[in-house]
Amino acid sequence: MSVAEDSQAELAMHYDRSKEIKAFDDTKAGVKGLVDAGIVEIPRMFIRPIDELAEELIQGKSTLQVPVIDLSGLEVEDARKKIVDEIREASEKWGFFQLINHGIPSSVLEGMIDGTRKFHEQDVELKKEYYSLDRTTRRVRYHSRIQLSQSKTVNWRDSLNIDWMVSGQIEPEEIPPVCRKAYVEYIKHVIKLAETLVDLLSEALGLKPDHLKAMECAKGQAMACHYYPACPQPELTLGVDKHTDLSFFTILLQDQSGGLQIMHNNQWVDVEPIEQGLVVNIGDFLQILSNDKFVSINHRVVAKKVGPRISTACFFTGVSEPPKIYGPIKELISEENPPLYKEFISSDYITKFFSKPLDISGLDHFRL
């Protein structure tokens, strides 16, 4: 046993994880609260297992770039065909692409990033009223962990979640005042973009443009507004563990800090921020509907010495109420290409997703 393993084993003997987590939760100050307190060593609950850290040192990192797709000229037939072809290739090979000229004004994007910063950097007493780990009854909630009881370590980030999956809408008064105006404006624009995207994804699958729209794949949205503070020991933790998204697709706005990585050909690839660009990724639900034609890919965020990094993910998860059955699209299935997944109800998938470690794919529960 190495000195490092010896030391970690000794620490584990005297370590009460539940006590440390409770003390952290009780502050309701999040990860930012630790940084504001001036810590120079991160708490034990954030430190990744030693075997995981060792594997990280030998794992390769690619210099490839995630595909960038220009949406300008979408109404012109030839340009649209080119865009659809690019989306098809990116969705099949990468599961990720970046969009430019998507139609959302830069002022709206900047307002969204600024609003997220203002929420997380306001006085902690104002944030506390939104602090909750109850995702079933609180539609607007601030917290610092997800699936903690199943996950090995806590991630180095704070989040504000806004969830209108069930009702299909969120009242502006429910959104914190400090970011309300910016969020309402961004939500309006991002839903409009999603309606365009769902048509393009349908065409990329060889279906009629309104096929996925008719299945209500762009309904049931949830938004996660993340704040990743500067970390004194970034090599020991992650901003968020590797995971796939529980959605049909996700639209992500990120600032210029970097840190998002995706797994491609068994190597981590940096998703370099593009000024005014948006990241789109295929989620588990669309991998199932496409019968593995499109892929939902593992991605993560690394921690950094400098910060904060700010991002906002909007997840499109379909209809939960009343329950709607989804499964491989019959037009994509044949004797040569039989269904690979069981049918599912999105609420069942969501329940299973939150009952497992974040880094374990939910697809396995529904694979035939």
Domain ranges, ordered by start, for the chain: 16-365
- Name the least confident of 24-33, 207-216, 276-285, 343-352: 343-352
Whether the CA torsion 202, 206, 209, 211 is positive or negative: it is: negative
- For residues 70 and 84, give the distance between their C-alpha atoms in angstroms, rounded to a whole number: 11
- For residues 177 and 184, give the distance between their C-alpha atoms in angstroms, rounded to a whole number: 11
Q: Give me the percent of the chain exceeding a pLDDT of 70.
A: 92
Token pair, residue 57, equals: 């040192």
- For residues 107 and 117, give the distance between their C-alpha atoms in angstroms, rounded to a whole number: 15
Helices 180-204, 106-121: crossing angle, 10 deg rounding: 130
Helix count and strand count (H, E) for the chain: 11, 15
Q: What is the pLDDT, as a whole number, of residue 59? A: 64
**Which range scores top for mean pLDDT: 7-21, 96-110, 305-319?**
96-110
Mean pLDDT of the chain: 89
- For residues 260 and 240, give the distance between their C-alpha atoms in angstroms, rounded to a whole number: 9
Task: Name the residue among 192, 199, 130, 197 with its Cα closest to residue 162.
Answer: 130
Terminal C-alpha separation, the chain: 42
Distances from the Cα of 262 to the Cαs of 209, 215, 298, 300, in angstroms? 28, 28, 6, 7
Amino acid 151 reads S
Quick one: three-class SS letters along 332-354? HCCCCCCCCECCEEHHHHHHHHC
Which CATH architecture describes the domain 16-365? Sandwich (2.60)
Q: What is the pLDDT, as a whole number, of residue 309? A: 98
Q: What is the pLDDT, as a whole number, of residue 12? A: 57
Amino acid 45 reads M
- For residues 136 and 62, give the distance between their C-alpha atoms in angstroms, rounded to a whole number: 39
pLDDT band at residue 148 under the 50/70/90 scheme: very low
- For residues 99 and 70, give the distance between their C-alpha atoms in angstroms, rounded to a whole number: 6
